[in-house]
Chains A and B, each alone.
Chain A
Amino acid sequence: MDNATLSSGRRKFLKGALASTFTAGIAPFAIGREKPLVRVMGTHVTLQEALRQRAMEDLGIRLHFSPGGSAAVLQKASMNPQSFDLYEQWSNSINVLWQAKAIAPIEVNRLTYWDEINALTKTGRLQPHASLGAGDAPYKIINVQQNGTLGSEPTGQISFLPYVHNVDSFGYNRSLIDTGLMQEQESWGWLLDSRVSGKVAIVNDPTIGLFDLALAAQAKGLMRFNDIGAITKQELDELFGMLIELKQLGHFAGFWTSVPESVQFMQNERCVVESMFSPAVSALNASNVPVTFAAPKEGYRGWHGVMCLSSATAGRQKDAAYEYMNWWLSGWPGAFIARQGYYISNPERSANYLSDAEWDYWYRGKPAAIDLKGTDGRISVKQGQQRTGGSYTDRFSNVAVWNTVMPTYEYSLQKWYEFLTS
């Protein structure tokens, strides 16, 4: 038994050593020194135990994950850069972190696969006619400008490593939703439709949920925003006026704060329509809840994951942090998260780690040729199923708005509170 454990440990160790040799190249590795520890702060979306194990195995470093709620981790990170080495969240937190100088610029030339990263974060468009999307589109905030601000001009230094991203919309339970509604073209307007009154759940985050509701109000024709990526106070007053009215009428069944909670909402039929993230849809489908992730005609709400380097990290930790960043783009992690419905910024490298059926289904938007398994080994996609919204390119060409911290952010927080407690 002891032997087996030992040999197993050694195998992992050798593998890690090899990986670091080939992939990092420059990573100094010396026997006898303690392996460097990389502290990663972030959310459950990317701080998954399977990834940690795999990365430690591949890299021969130690990883410590501190997953938490979006707001909490953001505040913690912005005020205390010493508390993390790497920070993984959404692009909408970049401004805060950058202004707080909690994060340091990332040297593009230390990123092995920078050249493979697609145009989404470089030009903002995957194809010429694609919509750029309102709000803080990632390409607008990735490059560290000469004056220290963030902009679209490449400088060789970037504020975050572009990696996981996706478009979100809402999901609905096909067997419970009003049949008349389902025959209509999918629209954000469904969230405010009287036919699902009492059965609507929204993600409890003004930077996300607010856009869902704003898109819904606009789709319903209840109001029109000058710039949906920068909603004014007056517009917020008008929007929340309607929303509070609806809430008091019992239109909203709940506000979820985590992906598992959103799954539960749908599973116990607390709601029929709700704001959703892709993994929740996979999980529900795997447990035979007939949930469709809508492809609204108004376009998606896009989000982009960011991996930031702490301004307080240096030396071996910083080197190891770069190794971890490079590992993320090395293909396997991209394939891993592809099976949860997320996209990676250099998809072609991950294609090597996906079967044709998986690639066709997840990236090319084709019907599943066979049953597809999720990261937990269970079948999450049945043969013949098809992702809504088409291929990766199709979907990212149809982003209505990016998750954004708007100038009226503080005001929206107040309105959100009113909304929640009304």
Chain B
Amino acid sequence: MKIHTSLFSLSSIRAQIILVLAALVILLLLQGVIARANQAVLFEGVSASGQAITDIGQVRALQRDILDLQRNVLIFRETASDSAVSRFERLMQAIEQKLENLESSRLARLPMQQTREMLNSMRHHLQAYQNNFKDVVDARARRDDTLSTASLFNQFEDSRLIPASLSGAQENAIRLQLSQARSAALEYRLQPDSIHRQAFITAISKARNMVEQAASEDASPLLDALDDTRARFLTLTQLIQGNLFLVNVVMAGSANEFLYLSNELVKQVNNQYATISSTTQEQALQAQQSLNIASFLAILLAIAAAGYTIYRILSPVKTLTDVFRRLARDENISEIPGLKREDEIGQLANAAQVFNNKNQQTRALLDEARDLNKRQRALNDELAASKEKAERATASKSIFLANMSHELRTPLNGIVGLIELAQQQPMSSVLKRYLDKAAYSSQVLMSVINDVLDFSKIEAGKLELEETSFSMHSLFNNLLSVVTLKAQEKNLSIRLIVSPGLPSQAVGDALRISQVLMNLCSNAIKFTEQGEVVIRFDGEFHPKSEHFTLNIEVKDTGIGMSDEQLKRVFSPFSQADEATNRKYGGSGLGLAIVRQLIDLMGGELAVSSTPGCGSVFNAAIPLKPVEQPLPGILSHTPALPTGSMYYTNHALLPDEYRQLLRVKSQPRPLEALSEDIGAPPCMVVDIEDFSTFKALLPRLDECVNRGIKTGLVVNTLPGKLIEKMMFCWPHGLLCHPFTPIQLEAFIGELTGISTTLSPDETQRDEPPAIDGHILLVEDNAINQVVTGEMLSSLGLSYDVAEDGKQAVTKFENSPQYDLVLMDVQMPVMDGYEATRLLRKKALIRFRSLGCPPTPCRKIKIRHWKQE
């Protein structure tokens, strides 16, 4: 409703403009209509005038024709000429035609009734005129034919008509009378006058009287002739009189009346014409006046509209435009004109008002924002300062840690080394027991310090990952050598299961991966009292990113963790709970380091656990493959010969490995061994424990003796029992935990196909037989002693350099060293600088041990080796 009123109310400028325009249009239309009407009136007037002129012409022609008609009538009366008659007829036709024309022309819009009456009257008179003329012509013809004056008296020429009884004198007297009558008749014809008629009648009467008096007999023919002549003369006079009357009175009257009517008609048409002309003029004048008024009104309206537009629209719009411009320039507007108007200008003014308010609000907001920004900047500055402070602190901490690392490890290395050296000396059992305990304690201390330092280093972001090619086999060997020992302490069963497709080599930081594995496995062993720990390796290749993920699963049957404990398991300095801490000891940093290392390598770590049942740790570490795609770690493993059998009660070989062996038939229970086993070419038997072994041994030996290649897969057993078993069973034996190489060897033994082993692996089992001269760069005197003793015990000779500079000098002077063991932190020149200089001079290659030319190994790394 409000919209409606605002759209159509007269206060709206739009409505007002539309109204004004509509009025203008109406006025223009009115002008057009008036002009058109005026034109029509003028046209009608002109055409009516034309019609009137034509009509008048027609009537005038009619009058001329009538006069001509009368002329012809007179000619006929005088001469009785035929041409006058035919001319009369033609004129009549012409007049008739003209009358018809006039009738059809409507006579310049005279009232129909009047016109018709007049024309009818004229026609009537004309008709009468024509009829009368016809009578005149007829009468004239009769008169000429039968009643000529001559014929009236012809009969008297006949002498037989005169009675014989008449005397000559009498006859002459009669003839005189007849002659007088004849002359009277002639005179009458010349001049119709009753005197002549009377004379004729008198003469005839006298003649008759004479005849009657003179002759009584045979006079009748003459008397009859006289009577006949008299009658015929009277008829003649009658005809003449009649014609006179017709022509002079009736026809003249008709013509007179006709002319009068035609004159009247002309007069009326003229009047009508004058009326039309004056009416037309008047109407044209009126129309002109109306037109003038309309034009005047239109001009007035246009001026008013222009004035209105300027006063009410344009100037307010200009003012408002100024207002808006000022608003745009963000100037302050104190007053906005036209706010009280209800039309569009008012709306614009309101809009300007809104703009103004908004501007003010914006300004307020801007001020506020400036304040906030100022505060923000202050805060930011504070923050930056804090950050700097923190960074400085962190840097200090790092430096402190690095120093601590060096300062802690150096003496501890000395202690450990010295204890190791001491243990090699002969001593009493008591002393040996003490030294062993001291060695263990120092190992624990070293481990804790390493953990703390590593953790700190990682926290400080100081840990850098290496990217070198490494062998999976060495990884597995190192892992098992440590884990087996620890597990044996608790007699736990350890399983290492490697996916056959896992590449045997990869690029990454092998040291940190080992650290992760050690920590996870140590942890598993630590919290498992009985049962087993299963370690699985699996590889997942991602062709797109050209790297593969090393999946590690460490599963134990230990105490497990609650959900609450799981949440905190990777947090530093925390174990599952205080009780656990007390029971199992440890720094509580192991899993935190694992987490940090895996994060650092871009891998993933997950744990799931059931309290009382055990835990499963899964780590996924992305690794780059070595350039060429390597075959799987067990891809060269041969299959067992067809028909080979597998005897087991509880399969000790995991599914992956069994598929590798390709034993077609279903595993059979151990009891089946005592039955007829047939003659399989090959046979794998699971041995659960030593007692089972002892029980089955005879039967197994029997089988071996029958030529059946027999291999035993043995569960994890204490070291002593293994040695005993190996002694009793010199054939294929695979004891858990085993590496893929061991598996391969086992299968090779069963099948008789030996697989090519890498030199590294072959050397693995050999005792180290090394020979060389080593440059030991070490500033700490105790460490010099310890390391020197160690090297000597290995049968190696060595020189000592006190610092990096000395080492470089020595190397330059006598570059015969097979290996340089370089400390990092040293006075004068540190290990890094020295190594760099040496490498620059192409004197050394920074590589692993025993590779020419002289490899350099930083002593720091040796700590790991020792571990």
Contacts and interface: CB of A to CB of B under 8 A. Distances in A.
Interface stretch (B96-104, B245-253, B479-487, B517-525): B245-253
Contact of A204 (B142, B235, B240, B253): B253
Interface in A94-136: 96, 99-101
Interface stretch (A12-20, A24-32, A67-75, A160-168): A67-75
Contact of B245 (A71, A99, A101, A407): A71
Interface in B202-239: 231, 234-235, 238-239
A222 interface: no
A417 B257 contact: no
A255 B193 CA distance: 25
A408 interface: yes
A299 interface: no
Contacts of A204: 249-250, 253, 256
Interface in A254-299: 254-255, 257
Contact of A72 (B195, B246, B247): B246
Given A100-B234, A255-B256, A75 B70 contact: no
B248 A416 contact: yes
Interface string A395-417: 00000000000111111011011
Contacts of B789: none
A93 B206 CA distance: 26
B256 A407 contact: no
Contacts of B231: 100-101
A413 B249 contact: yes
A410 B135 contact: no
A173 interface: no
Interface residues of B, number: 33
A408 B194 CA distance: 6
Contacts, number: 93
Given A72-B135, A74-B242, A79-B239, A416 B234 contact: no
Nearest to A257: B253
B241 A96 contact: yes
A92 interface: no
A13 B128 CA distance: 38
A254 B247 contact: no
Given A74-B242, A75-B245, A410-B194, A99 B252 contact: no
B244 interface: yes
Interface residues of A, number: 29
A410 B193 contact: yes
Contact of B249 (A205, A254, A407, A411): A205
A206 B254 CA distance: 15
B70 A421 contact: yes
Nearest to B247: A417
A419 to B, nearest CB: 9
B139 interface: yes
B132 interface: yes
B234 A413 contact: no
Contacts of B238: 75, 78-79, 96, 100
Chain A interface, DSSP helix/strand/loop, else mixed: helix
B764 to A, nearest CB: 156
Contacts of B235: 78-79, 100
A37 B247 CA distance: 33
Given A78-B238, A99-B234, A414-B244, A421 B252 contact: yes
B755 to A, nearest CB: 149
Interface string B167-193: 000000000000000000000000011
A410 B246 contact: no
Given A96-B238, A255-B256, A417 B195 contact: no
Interface in B633-683: none
B193 A75 contact: no
Contacts of A408: 193-194
Residue from B135, B239, B250, B254 with most neighbouring chain A CB atoms (10 Å)? B250
B260 interface: yes
Contacts of B252: 416-417, 420-421
A234 to B, nearest CB: 14
A420 B242 CA distance: 17
B245 A413 contact: yes
B134 to A, nearest CB: 11
A420 B245 contact: no
Nearest to A415: B248
A411 B188 CA distance: 11
Contacts of A79: 139, 142, 235, 238-239, 242
Chain B interface, DSSP helix/strand/loop, else mixed: helix
Interface string B90-133: 00000000000000000000000000000000000000100010
A375 to B, nearest CB: 24
A75 B139 CA distance: 9
B486 to A, nearest CB: 153
Nearest to A203: B253
A416 B193 contact: no
Contacts of A255: 253, 256-257
A294 to B, nearest CB: 23
A420 B253 contact: yes
Contacts of A205: 249
A417 B254 CA distance: 12
B250 A417 contact: no
Interface in A186-213: 204-206
Contacts of A69: 128, 250
Interface in B452-475: none
B195 A413 contact: no
A34 B238 CA distance: 36
Contacts of B248: 413-414, 416-417, 420
Nearest to A75: B242
A420 to B, nearest CB: 4
A178 B804 CA distance: 170
Interface string B243-280: 01111111011111100100000000000000000000
A411 B248 CA distance: 11
Given A255-B257, A413-B245, A407 B195 contact: yes
B194 A407 contact: yes
Contacts of B193: 408, 410-411
Contacts of A71: 242, 245-246, 249-250
Contact of B250 (A78, A99, A100, A257): A257
A204 B250 CA distance: 7
Residue from B132, B193, B245 with most neighbouring chain A CB atoms (10 Å)? B245
Nearest to A209: B249
Nearest to A421: B252
Nearest to B192: A410
A206 B260 contact: no
Contacts of A254: 256-257, 260
Interface in A374-408: 406-408
A100 B240 CA distance: 13
Contacts of A413: 241, 244-245, 248-249
Nearest to B196: A410
A201 to B, nearest CB: 11
Nearest to B249: A416
Contacts of B244: 410, 413-414
Given A410-B192, A410-B193, A75 B135 contact: yes
19 contacts: A75-B135, A75-B139, A75-B239, A75-B245, A78-B242, A79-B235, A205-B249, A255-B253, A255-B257, A257-B253, A257-B254, A257-B257, A409-B194, A409-B241, A410-B193, A410-B194, A413-B244, A416-B252, A417-B252
Interface of A: 69, 71-72, 74-75, 78-79, 96, 99-101, 204-206, 254-255, 257, 406-411, 413-414, 416-417, 420-421
Given A410-B194, A416-B252, A420-B249, 6 more contacts: A79-B238, A99-B234, A100-B235, A254-B260, A406-B194, A421-B252
Interface of B: 70, 128, 132, 135, 139, 142, 192-195, 198, 231, 234-235, 238-242, 244-250, 252-257, 260
CB-based closest 10 A-B pairs:
A75-B242, A417-B248, A204-B253, A410-B192, A407-B194, A71-B245, A420-B252, A413-B244, A413-B248, A78-B238
